[in-house]
Structure formats: structure tokens, C-alpha cells
């Protein structure tokens, strides 16, 4: 019955709009930040516990943060992985862990009926505060990670992505994949994970997000219960700033594929960047809006050089990547890359037309409420707001920030952030076929 109720709840459209998602903020008795949105439409709650413990904290042990996160629910307290899964299943709850460059997160979705909710909370609490890091579990997860890395090495898209990150970030903590690389993962031990957990999974480094059918008092009690028994610890030092490239470069990687993957870009923007909204709207027009973007029009529609072409800014704690990407036949690589670079340079110099800008604003603003039309999606936005220390009225002011962008402000923002003289380029494909380009 519980499973059916959660399944039904997931099909119900949330009645939230960004004008009604009021975020309440406080700290626990041990100094952890809490962000809460009361959402009474469904008898459910979505909870995230977020730590500044992403892969940027790996040091030279690439993959350490990801493996630590993956091991949390394989054994905790007196329970093994199967017992943990059964406890959540018995109350119709969903639990998961995840890692990005910046964060490590534990998430829970549960019905708020006390008999069900309390058991789900207890299970999450034990996973968080009493993980076993059993060696047998570790070896199994390590083996899975190494197998995934091997698969990654056989994918031209993944090879291009990894090379591009290395090209942009060099020795910076953002350079390596979240799951690590073969050489470093092979050397990891279960004791390394336990030490990482002990250092970073502490109250002073924790943030709790709660969205759902709870009162503020209940949310306060929930946060205290979840983090009880965690040591206070210390917040980690700030991640170093990103160093921008000093000159343009191009890296060609040979790969036995019929298509070439092309990535072009630079370190781009961060979450609290004053230029963010101008970059966001501008990128929507340049390559973020799919079939109606400038890149798609120039590369695909007019010239048929690629199935798709896109661009994206990925804001992070520090400067996340700006990337323009496409896939093309090996023999069309040179021409496709030229069109890509020309389109990007033209956009930076001229900006969008007024018609393009008006259409982009309408599309972005019209679609924005759908981005958090469930408690789970809303919790993700609240976690972003909290972790990156953004204004609590971010959702309320989003429409205004988009409306305030103009052709001139977009041009200025792109000129500041995207220096075409410094672009980093990675191509992965069959260079022999690429060099034998067909005549036009």
C-alpha cells in the first residue's frame, strides 16, 4: 500500500509556483545550516543532507569522495546492504547518495506518516553516522568503479570530456572525473574512505534541506535527529581559485570511431557571479535551446555538419566549464570546427537580436516553474541556494533577473568570460579520416 501511495504522489502535479516557495533558514544546535520549505500538497517529505565533500576534496586520491559516498549504505550500524534496503522498502521510502565536484549528498523521500517517517529517518541517521566501510563491501564497489572506468575509456564522448577537463583545469581539483581514474582508484583502501568520512562528514560541514508536509517545528526536530551523533569537526579550507589559460590550444586524440567529438571552451562562471543571468540567457540563444539555437542553425540546419550542436555554462563553487560541443563525421571535422568558432565569435561580437532575446526570455520564464514542480525538484533548487550561499529569494527574483538582461549586457558578459583568443579545443576521432576531408 505504501508503494502505491508514493507512486500516486509522484504523478500529482505540485501546485507550487516560485512566488510561494518560501525558504526558511536556521542552524542546528551543532551549527549545521538548515533550509526548509513547507509543502502540504502531498503527505511526503524530501530531505537532502549535503556536505562540502565532493571530488574536489579528493586530493591526489582521485575517486575517494565518490567511493566514500557509495559505501555509506552498503553497511551501517548492525545492518548490511540488504537489511538497509529492506528497511526503506518496508516504509515505501527512497534513499540515495551522490557526488559532484563540489558536493556529496544523501537524499531521502518518505511519506510523513509518523510510523513510516520515523523508521526512514532512523535508517538514514544510522547510515550517516555509523557507516561500516567493510572491506568486502569496499572491494566490491571498487571493482564496480574500475569496470565503469574501463567502459569510460572505451567511449569517445567520455574520453573527450575527461581530456577537456584536464585541458581547462590542469592541476586544479576540478580537473579529474568524479569517479577517479584507474591508477588512483586501484590504490585506494577501505581505511582511506574511513579517514575521508571522518574529516568531511561532520556537523560544521553539513547542510540539511527539507521540503514537504511538515511544520517548522517538525523540520527542526528532523534535522536534529538526523545529525545527532555527528562530531562538530571543522569546515574544510576553501577550494583554490581557477587559473585561466594563457593561450589557446588544441588537442587531437586518436580514436577508432566514425564520428569526431569536438569540445571547445574555457573555465566559465560560478554560482554567485554577477554575470550569471546574462550568460544564462545568452547561452540559451547561442546553444542551450536545442533546435532553435544559433549553433544548431549554423552547424546542422544550414550546413548539415552535425546531428546536434550545443553550448553550456556549468556554474560551480569556482569557475565551472563553458563548453561548446558537437559530433561530426571525421572528414567534416575541420569545417565543423571552423563554423563553431565563427558562430561563437560572431555571437560575442554582435550579441543576440532583439527577437532572439525576447523569445529566449519568454521560453525561460515560461518554463521555469516546471523545473521545480515536484518536492524533489524543489529540494534540489533549495540545496543549490543553500550550498552556494545564494539569496533566499532566488526563486522569487528569477523572473526579474531574466527580464533585466539586454543585448548590451549579454554582449558585455560574454566578452568578459569568453576570450576567443584563449579557447581550449579537444577533438576525439579518426584523425586520418579527418585529414582526408572531402572537397566542398
> Which of 14-18, 142-146, 231-235, 330-334 has the weakest average pLDDT?
14-18
Q: What is the pLDDT of residue 307?
A: 86
DSSP 267-298: E--BTT-TTHHHHHHHHIIIIISGGGSHHIII
Provide the CATH topology of domain 249-435.
Cytochrome Bc1 Complex; Chain A, domain 1 (3.30.830)
Q: How many CB atoms lie within 10 A of CB 286?
A: 29
Question: Greater confidence, 440 or 391?
Answer: 391
Query: What average pLDDT does the segment 379-405 reach?
Result: 97
State residue 104's pLDDT score.
99
Q: What's the pLDDT score for residue 435?
A: 59
* Residue 17 clears pLDDT 70, i.e. is over it: no
| DSSP assigned state of 335 | H
Query: Which superfamily does CATH assign the domain made up of 21-227 to?
Result: Metalloenzyme, LuxS/M16 peptidase-like (3.30.830.10)
Average pLDDT, integer, range 154-170: 98
pLDDT reported for residue 54: 99
pLDDT of residue 212: 97
Contact 312, 323 (CB under 8 A): yes
Break the chain into its structural domains and give their ranges.
21-227, 249-435
pLDDT recorded at residue 371: 87
Q: Provide the b/e sequence for 226-256 (b: ≥16 CB within 10 Å).
A: bbeebeebeebeebeebeebeeeeeeebebe
Cα–Cα distance measured from residue 338 to residue 333, given in angstroms and rounded to the nearest whole number: 9
The model's confidence at residue 434, banded by pLDDT at 50, 70 and 90, is low
**Measured at the alpha carbon of residue 115, what is the angle toward residues 109 and 116, in degrees to the nearest 5?**
20
Nearest Cα residue to 95 out of 152, 141, 49, 62: 49
pTM: 0.92
Residues 6+ apart with CB under 8 A from 39: 14, 16, 21, 211, 212, 213, 375, 378
pLDDT of 177 over the 90 cut: yes
Containing 27, the helix (H) or strand (E) segment is strand 24-27
**pLDDT at 10 exceeding the cut of 80:** no
* Owner of C-alpha cell 583568443: 421
Beta bridge partners of 260: 328
* Mean pLDDT calculated for residue range 376-391: 97
pLDDT at 433: 63
CA dihedral 25, 236, 229, 379 (to 10 degrees): 40
Strand partners, 211: 37, 46
Phi, psi of 208 (to 5 degrees): -115, 135
Residue 214 and residue 46 in contact, taking contact as beta carbons nearer than 8 Å? no
Across 90-111, average pLDDT: 98
SS3 210: strand
Categorize the per-residue pLDDT at 372 as very low, low, confident or very high, splitting at 50, 70 and 90: confident
In DSSP notation, 43-98 reads SEEEEEEEES-SGGG-TTSTTHHHHHHHHGGGEETTEEHHHHHHHHHHTT-EEEEE
Report how far residue 71's alpha carbon sits from residue 75's, in angstroms, rounded to the nearest whole number: 7
Residues near 88 by beta carbon (within 8 Å), at least 6 away in sequence: 94, 95, 120, 123
Report the alpha-carbon distance of residue 416 to residue 427 in Å, rounded.
25
Angle at 248 (CA atoms; ends 153, 271), nearest 5 degrees: 75
Cα–Cα nearest to 358, from 401, 311, 406, 398? 406
Q: Is the pLDDT of residue 55 over 60?
A: yes
Joined together, the cell numbers standing for residue 134 give 567493510
Mean pLDDT, residues 95-113? 98
pLDDT tens digit string along 242-293?
999 999 999 999 999 999 999 999 999 999 999 999 999 999 999 998 888 9
Tell me the percentage of the chain whose pLDDT exceeds 70.
94
Is residue 3 over pLDDT 80? no
Please report which confidence band the pLDDT of residue 432 belongs to, taking 50, 70 and 90 as the band edges: confident
**pLDDT at 290 (0 to 100):** 85
At residue 431, the pLDDT reads: 80
Largest Cα span, the chain: 71
pLDDT in tens, 218-237: 999 999 999 999 999 999 99
Dist CA 94 CA 85 (whole Å) = 9
- Cell 540567457: give the residue: 281
Residue-averaged pLDDT of the chain: 94
Amino acid at each position: 500500500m505504501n508503494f502505491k501511495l508514493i507512486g500516486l504522489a509522484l504523478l500529482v502535479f505540485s501546485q507550487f509556483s516560485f512566488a510561494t516557495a518560501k525558504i526558511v533558514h536556521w542552524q542546528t544546535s551543532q551549527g549545521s545550516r538548515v533550509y526548509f520549505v513547507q509543502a502540504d500538497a502531498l503527505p511526503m517529505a524530501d530531505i537532502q543532507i549535503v556536505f562540502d565533500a565532493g571530488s574536489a576534496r579528493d586530493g591526489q586520491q582521485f575517486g575517494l569522495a565518490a567511493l566514500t559516498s557509495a559505501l555509506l549504505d552498503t553497511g551501517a550500524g548492525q545492518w548490511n546492504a540488504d537489511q538497509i534496503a529492506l528497511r526503506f522498502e518496508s516504509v515505501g521510502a527512497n534513499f540515495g547518495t551522490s557526488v559532484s565536484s563540489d558536493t556529496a549528498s544523501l537524499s531521502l523521500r518518505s511519506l510523513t506518516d509518523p510510523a513510516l517517517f520515523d523508521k526512514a529517518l532512523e535508517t538514514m541517521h544510522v547510515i550517516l553516522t555509523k557507516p561500516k566501510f567493510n572491506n568486502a563491501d569496499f572491494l566490491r564497489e571498487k571493482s564496480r568503479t574500475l569496470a565503469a572506468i574501463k567502459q569510460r575509456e572505451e567511449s569517445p564522448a567520455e574520453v573527450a570530456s575527461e581530456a577537456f577537463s584536464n585541458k581547462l583545469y590542469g592541476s586544479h581539483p576540478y580537473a579529474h572525473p568524479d569517479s577517479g581514474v584507474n591508477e588512483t582508484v586501484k590504490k585506494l583502501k577501505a581505511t582511506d574512505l574511513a579517514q575521508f568520512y571522518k574529516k568531511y562528514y561532520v556537523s560544521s560541514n553539513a547542510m540539511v534541506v527539507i521540503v514537504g508536509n511538515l511544520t517548522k517545528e517538525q523540520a527542526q526536530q528532523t534535522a536534529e535527529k538526523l545529525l545527532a551523533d555527528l562530531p562538530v569537526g571543522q569546515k574544510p579550507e576553501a577550494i583554490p581559485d581557477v587559473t585561466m589559460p594563457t593561450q589557446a590550444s588544441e588537442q587531437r586524440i586518436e580514436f577508432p570511431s566514425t564520428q569526431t567529438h569536438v569540445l571547445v571552451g574555457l573555465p566559465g562562471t560560478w554560482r554567485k557571479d554577477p554575470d550569471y543571468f546574462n550568460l544564462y540567457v545568452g547561452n540559451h540563444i547561442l546553444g542551450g535551446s536545442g533546435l532553435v539555437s544559433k549553433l544548431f542553425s549554423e552547424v546542422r540546419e544550414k550546413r548539415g555538419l552535425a546531428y546536434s550542436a550545443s553550448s553550456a555554462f556549468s556554474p560551480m563553487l569556482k569557475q565551472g566549464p563553458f563548453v561548446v560541443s558537437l559530433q561530426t563525421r571525421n572528414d567534416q571535422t575541420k569545417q565543423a570546427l571552423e563554423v563553431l568558432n565563427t558562430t561563437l565569435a560572431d555571437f560575442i561580437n554582435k550579441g543576440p537580436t532583439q527577437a532572439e532575446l525576447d523569445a529566449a526570455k519568454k521560453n525561460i520564464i515560461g518554463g521555469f516553474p516546471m523545473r521545480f514542480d515536484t518536492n524533489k525538484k524543489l529540494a534540489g533548487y533549495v540545496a543549490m541556494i543553500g550550498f552556494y550561499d545564494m539569496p533566499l529569494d532566488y526563486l522569487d527574483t528569477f523572473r526579474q533577473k531574466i527580464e533585466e538582461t539586454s543585448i548590451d549586457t549579454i554582449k558585455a558578459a560574454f566578452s568578459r568570460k569568453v576570450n576567443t583568443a584563449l579557447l581550449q579545443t579537444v577533438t576525439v576521432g579518426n584523425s586520418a579520416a579527418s585529414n582526408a576531408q572531402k572537397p566542398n
